[in-house]
Structure 1
Amino acid sequence: MLTGAVGCGGGEAAAPPDLSVPPTNVRWQPFQGVPLPRADQGPTTETDGAATGFEHSPAGAGVAAMVHAVRLSVADDSQWSNIAAREVVPGPAKDEWAVNRVQVSISGPADPVYAPRLLGYRITEYTDQRAVVDVYSEYSDSSKAVNHTAVEWFAHDWRLRLPDPESTARPIEPVGEIPSDAVKVEAPK
């Protein structure tokens, strides 16, 4: 006679991750004149301008979104192709971005007048494979903007998913203030 209990595979569902946990031990490192965060959650490696090695967590996704969006925007002519190869998910959006980027020349650091100062992020959707992250910045005229980004867990790292070339959604929009539930990761002034 069997008297012991046999466990079921069902059990309780795991609690959803806390999207408001900030990155830890944040330091700031300039890239092309823009201070970018480096935290315990990443990046752990920088090679030829590309920042990689982000923790597979909400905070890792948030830092990756901030870092990748800015690096891709301000990379100079010698860096952009390596950054795109290591920080962006392959596909038609990346291909179209590369075709357009070839037509632009960036030879030095960002002009401080146009360089963003990162203020933080808010994760609006999160799974282990994808995060939708709003990245908030401030500019020298005190205006603020939100950059709607997405990162995907690809090749064991968070990489930027560029918007679909057919999308009509605005990836960057002005904002009056940063939402109170945003994770503050504020660059020095």
Structure 2
Amino acid sequence: MAEPADAAAADEPRSPWLRTGFVTAAAFVGFVAVVGGAVVATSGGSDEAAAAPPATSSAPPPGATGAHASDGTCPTLADTRQGVPTAEPAGVTWALYDGVALPASKAAGPADTGKDLARCYARTPLGALLASSQISVRYLAADDWKSVTRAQTVGAGRDSYLADRAAAEKTAAPDGDRPAHGQIAGFRFVTYHDTTAVIETVWRFPAGQLQAATTTMLWRAGDWRLEYPADPAAPTPVDSLAGYVSWGGV
């Protein structure tokens, strides 16, 4: 998961939204390393139901952008391109969410964005990339992080993360000054299938250091979900963006 903070006393960043003392092996999560490291195609839980059919090429129905159907289903999005991006994707805009620039696209999502939850992405490589960027930040930084985590993450480590973080926050000291955030700097796809996308994202911190993290996105119940494995991989430092697509909003 992604860790957006510039750590003063460690090589890896620590998330300012995980209260003091809440950096455990299972919850080394944050803004610069989304959980992952390997393609995991199975996860337990009712929210990992059978994948929905691929999106069609039709544009979203009138009034669908920024909203969802009354039954909670997502609108059809216009993006149907199945080629993995090898350059900066066109049509992407950026907006700050708690200080972190997050990408969005009218064609690929999120089509439904609220205060904390951003959902409904195209079943395409760009949709998976946008979902990875949005979810990996929001489930950590959201005020209602529990709801975001339950709705948009799956995997063997999710329940432990929920329990460990909730327990830690009950006993944590009040937050002090927040460290500066990391920002998305680049990406590359490791693999892509219309049900599984493995994406490596590079994050840049204020002092200039870069860290890369691998995220696995799974298509479940009509949308992309971030997989939280039982043993999340830690982020790794990188020297440059060589081999990555340079991409970011700040």
Residue deviations 1:159-185 (CA, integer Å, cap 9, x gap): 10012x2x3x633111111233x3333
Shift of 1:68: 1.1
Q: Superposition pairs for residues 148-187 of structure 1, below 5 Å? A: 148-163=214-229, 165=230, 167=231, 170-180=233-243, 182-187=244-249
Q: 1:47 to 1:129 in 2, by over 3 A?
A: same
Counterparts of 1:134 and 1:106 in 2: how far apart (Å)? 33
Higher mean C-alpha deviation, range 22-31 or range 32-41: 22-31
* Structure 2 residue runs without a partner (length 5+): 1-80
Is 1:50 equivalent to 2:112 in the alignment?
no
- Report if aligned partners of 1:74, 1:106 keep a CA contact under 8 Å in 2: no
Structure 1: tracts of 5 or more residues without a match: 1-15
**1:135 partnered with 2:201:** yes
Would the alpha carbon gap of residues 32 and 93 (structure 1) be closer, same or farther in structure 2, given more than 3 Å must change? same
Q: CA contact under 8 A between 1:62 and 1:122: conserved in structure 2? A: no
Q: For the Cα contact (< 8 Å) 1:56–1:158, is it kept in 2?
A: yes
Q: How does 1:96-107 map to 2 (within 5 A)?
A: 96-102=160-166, 103-104=168-169
Instruction: Tell me, yes or no, if structure 1 residue 125 matches structure 2 residue 125.
Output: no
Question: Runs of 4 or more off by more than 4 Å in structure 1?
Answer: 105-108
The number of equivalent residue pairs is 164
State the alpha-carbon separation in 1 of the partners of residues 242 and 128 from structure 2.
Answer: 19
Secondary structure in structure 2 of the residue aligned to 1:92: coil
Between the two structures, name the one with larger relative contact order (CA 8 Å, sep ≥ 6): 2
Deviations 1:63-103, CA, capped at 9 Å, x for gaps? 11111111123223xx10121122212x4311011012212
Q: 1:80–1:27: structure 2 CA closer, same or farther, 3 Å change rule?
A: same
Q: Percent identity?
A: 24
The residue type equivalent to 1:149 in the other structure is: T
CA distance in 1, matches of 2:130, 2:98: 18
Per the alignment, residue 135 of structure 2 pairs with 68
d(CA) in 2 for partners of 1:174, 1:85: 29
CA RMSD of aligned residues (A): 2.4
Matches within 5 A, 1:8-47: 17-20=82-85, 22-40=88-106, 41-47=108-114
Alpha-carbon shift at residue 48 of structure 1 (Å): 4.3
Structure ID, larger Rg: 1
Q: TM-score, normalised by structure 2?
A: 0.59
Partner Cα distance (1:114, 1:73) in 2: 15
Shift of 1:142: 0.6
Are the equivalent residues in 1 in contact too, given 2:156–2:228 (CA < 8 A)? no
2:187–2:246 Cα contact (<8 Å) kept: yes
- 2:75: which partner in 1? none
1:125-182 alpha-carbon deviations (Å, 9 max, x no partner)? 111110111111101111011121100001111110012x2x3x633111111233x3
Give the letter aligned to residue 173 of structure 1. T
